Amino acid sequence: MDTILHLLHRASAGRAGSLREPLVKITELLGRKGIVVIISDFYEHPDEILSSISLLRGRGHDVIVFHVLDPAELSFPFEDSSSFEDLETREQIPVIPNRLRDDYKRLVSEHVESVEHRLTENRIDYVLLDTSKPLDLALFQYLLARERWTRKR
């Protein structure tokens, strides 16, 4: 557990990269079957996400995915022309929100639905969570619901 916490502490948010490398390391460190919680914005292709997470499922672990997005990433409420900073590359991107809002929302919705579909069809629990909700509360609510569902089986 200390090794996993150390790896998590060393991981830098805002760095471009895929899930694969950290999940390979975690898969190697985990011994017996357990529950693995993955918290990410999942800004990569859904097939790559599934491929990376399947490493854990293949070893018999239950996997719970929290797909975390800011409410503004889902609704794109911006009005004024401005510049957005790519959090991974720091590139400044000029944007006229009214011109791209509909396409942006459609693409984000398609991506979220695709990630959810690919994961759930492979028996990976999926929870979409916006950052306005506390993660600990969301995890607690999920675990309560999972316990109720398990009892009904």
The pLDDT of residue 111 is above 90:
yes
**For 41, phi and psi rounded to 5 degrees?**
-85, -10
pLDDT, position 82: 85
Domain ranges of the chain: 2-137
pLDDT, position 148: 85
What size, in residues, is the chain? Answer: 153
Q: Record the tokens describing residue 6, joined without a space.
A: 């150390």
Cα 145 versus chain centre, distance: 20
Higher-scoring residue by pLDDT: 127, 11: 127
Whether the predicted model's global pTM rises above the 0.85 cut: no
The pLDDT of residue 15 is above 60:
no
pLDDT, position 1: 47
pLDDT, position 13: 53
Please write the tens of the pLDDT for every residue from 54-109. Answer: 999 989 999 999 999 999 999 999 998 989 888 778 999 999 999 999 999 999 99
Alpha helices in 30-126 (DSSP H): 46-58, 71-75, 97-120
pLDDT, position 150: 78
Cα–Cα dist 53/122, whole Å: 10
pLDDT, position 110: 97
CB contact set of 33 (below 8 Å; sequence gap of 6+):
59, 60, 61, 62
**For 7, phi and psi rounded to 5 degrees?**
-60, -40
Please write the tens of the pLDDT for every residue from 130-150. Answer: 899 888 888 888 888 888 887
Please write the tens of the pLDDT for every residue from 21-33. Answer: 888 888 888 888 8
Cα–Cα dist 108/135, whole Å: 21
